[in-house]
Amino acid sequence: MPVEGSLTDAIATQRAPVRPLGELPRRPGVSARELRVPGPPGAPPVLVRVYRPQGVTAALPAVLWLHGGAFVLGTIDAVHGQAAEAALYAEATVIAVGYRLAPEHPYPAALEDCLAVLHWAAGQADEVGADPARLAVAGTSAGGCLAAGLALLTRDRGGPSLCLQQLTTPALDDRLTTPSMVASDRGTPIWNRTLAEESWRLYLGEGPGPTPVYAAPARAEDLRGLPRTYLSVAGRDPLRDEALLFGLRLAQAGVPVELHHFPDALHGFAGPATKLDRERIAIEHLATLRCALHHRDPA
């Protein structure tokens, strides 16, 4: 969402409570239900919404759908339409996660919420109609950071195993030293270095020592053993170069990676040149997800 002024101001003026699921537009052909699942030890339950193609009873591959919002804004309402569309198009169980937000809940609260939901999805597969052998994570912007951090975390802790991480214009590096980030200023549409600095400061809080790799995945030195990756990058996004570098390093580490750079797009694909471009990007994202989950070529 566009931010005028600081993120701190936006927290006060743009945050809105999550709406009841029944008030949101219904996608024909998709069932949606809302649950609260066990959170991390000592933390409250996590709000999730589970989307499935209507009338399907078989277990389907499952995708954790992680919203963006600079770690401090955004809710699962913002991805309601996307999650429903992905469930239908990709023939999947899509689980949107209402993780806790900074600065009230700095790192690792959001990541731990996502991990708790992933373990729940793997352990309660029958309840959500999920195939625990086909679990994936997908996220945009800050959600892409959480998805990538989750992939690193599950690799290092021995599961649950992921078949895909789908990262859309992700924020991956708190150092903010890439050429595309350094060149941005307050006039850069949607996102810029000033907002990025504040976002990371609010997310990381006052924790001592260096930034953990699970918080800023670009800091991870070893990317071997991560799941198949689809990474999409916007050419006019200050986050462009850190995502491109992360994709290159994944490929060098032997990870199957597909990277698409859309040159005319803004952060979050908020401003491709034409409506046709927006449709093309959305279809590619959905087709890639379906292909990876069902191990087949896109139709």
Domain boundaries, the chain: 7-294
Cβ atoms 242, 213 nearer than 8 A: no
- Please state which of the ranges 44-58, 206-220, 227-241 shows the lowest mean pLDDT: 206-220
Report pLDDT digits (tens) over 63-76.
999 999 999 999 99
**Tens digits of residue pLDDT in 109-138:** 999 999 999 999 999 988 889 999 999 999
Cβ-proximal residues to 27 (8 Å cutoff; 6+ apart), any chain: 81, 84, 85, 88
pLDDT tens profile 54-102: 999 999 999 999 999 999 999 999 999 999 999 999 999 999 999 999 9
Burial class (CB in 10 A: 0-12, 13-18, 19+), 185: exposed
For the four alpha carbons of 258, 263, 267 and 273, in that order, the dihedral sign comes to negative
Higher-confidence position of 270 and 294: 294
Q: What is the pLDDT of residues 231-247, one digit of tens each?
A: 999 999 999 999 999 99
Cα–Cα distance list, 278 to 131, 234, 273, 284 (Å):
31, 12, 8, 10
What span, in angstroms and rounded, lies between the C-alpha atoms of 91 and 195? Answer: 36
| Euclidean distance between CA atoms 215 and 196, whole angstroms | 14
Query: Which superfamily does CATH assign the domain made up of 7-294 to?
Result: Alpha/Beta hydrolase fold, catalytic domain (3.40.50.1820)
- Which CA distances in Å does 260 have to 51, 240, 265, 274? 27, 11, 12, 18
Residue 66 corresponds to which amino acid? L
Region 25-35 average pLDDT: 96
Per-residue confidence (pLDDT) for residue 297, from 0 to 100: 46
CB atoms within 10 A of CB 156: 12
Give the three-state DSSP class for 283.
helix
79: tokens are 């991805």
- By annotation, the residues acting in catalysis are 141, 237, 267
Chain centre distance of CA 176: 19
Query: d(Cα 204, Cα 220) in Å, to the nearest integer?
Result: 16
